Amino acid sequence: MDFHKYEKIWLVFGILSLVIFLSIVGITAFGQGHTPAGGMDTIDPEKVSEIAPFDNPGVKQLDKNTYEVALVAKAFGYEPSEIKVPVGKEIIFTLTSTDVVHSFTIKDTKVNMMVVPGRITHKSYTFDKPGKYLVLCNEYCGTGHHFMSTEIEVYE
Ligand code: CUA
């Protein structure tokens, strides 16, 4: 029996399997790169200031009972810094980041959004009490992370 022949066959088989495996991985990675996961909105992080609604961030009334608050998160703050919204109305927070991953976490509410560069994240919330709400960044984003905060004023 020619031992070397068997060895060669196995070697060829091994290389073939590796090639097939790598092409599958490659195709999968390539495919994912071109399909935004979960139908999430994407945005060019370098052009955020030119793209609506981030070209004019802030509070905008959409209809009688709905408001949109567009915010840009960046190291180490949120733009705009002043946010005033009415109580008892649906507030849609729309956020993106221009640099690294941040969060938009409104204390004592269920709002805890991940803000990722290249993506637009939405979260709807209705405040049932007027007052001042503290917003914090819960994702470590650099030296100024602990100072990254803002405030939302909810008025009657
Ligand atoms: Cu932004 Cu931590």
> Are residue 95 and residue 135 in the same domain, yes or no?
yes
pLDDT tens-digit map of 40-56: 799 999 999 999 999 99
Q: Is 102 in the pocket of ligand 1 (CB under 6 A)?
A: yes
Question: Given this model, what pLDDT does residue 37 score?
Answer: 47
> Is the ipTM value over 0.95, yes or no?
yes
CA of 101 relative to ligand 1 center, distance in Å: 7
SS3 90: strand
Q: Is 72 in the pocket of ligand 1 (CB under 6 A)?
A: no
Q: Which residue's C-alpha comes closest to atom 1 of ligand 1? A: 102
> Are residue 65 and residue 88 in the same domain, yes or no?
yes
Q: Is 139 in the pocket of ligand 1 (CB under 6 A)?
A: yes
> Are residue 111 and residue 129 in the same domain, yes or no?
yes
Give the count of domains, the chain. 2
For residue 15, what are the domain limits?
3-35
> Are residue 20 and residue 46 in the same domain, yes or no?
no
> Are residue 137 and residue 115 in the same domain, yes or no?
yes
> Are residue 103 and residue 28 in the same domain, yes or no?
no
> Are residue 47 and residue 12 in the same domain, yes or no?
no
Burial of 83 (0-12, 13-18, 19+ CB in 10 A): buried
CA of 107 relative to ligand 1 center, distance in Å: 15
Please compute the mean of the pLDDT values over residues 138-149 and round it to a whole number: 98
**How many residues can be counted in the chain?**
156
Is 120:95 a contact under the CB 8 Å cutoff?
yes
pLDDT tens-digit map of 95-138: 999 999 999 999 999 999 999 999 999 999 999 999 999 999 99
Residue 123 maps to which CATH number?
2.60.40.420
On the question of pLDDT at 151 being above 90, the answer is yes
Q: What are phi and psi of 62, to 5 degrees?
A: -90, -45
Q: Is 141 in the pocket of ligand 1 (CB under 6 A)?
A: yes
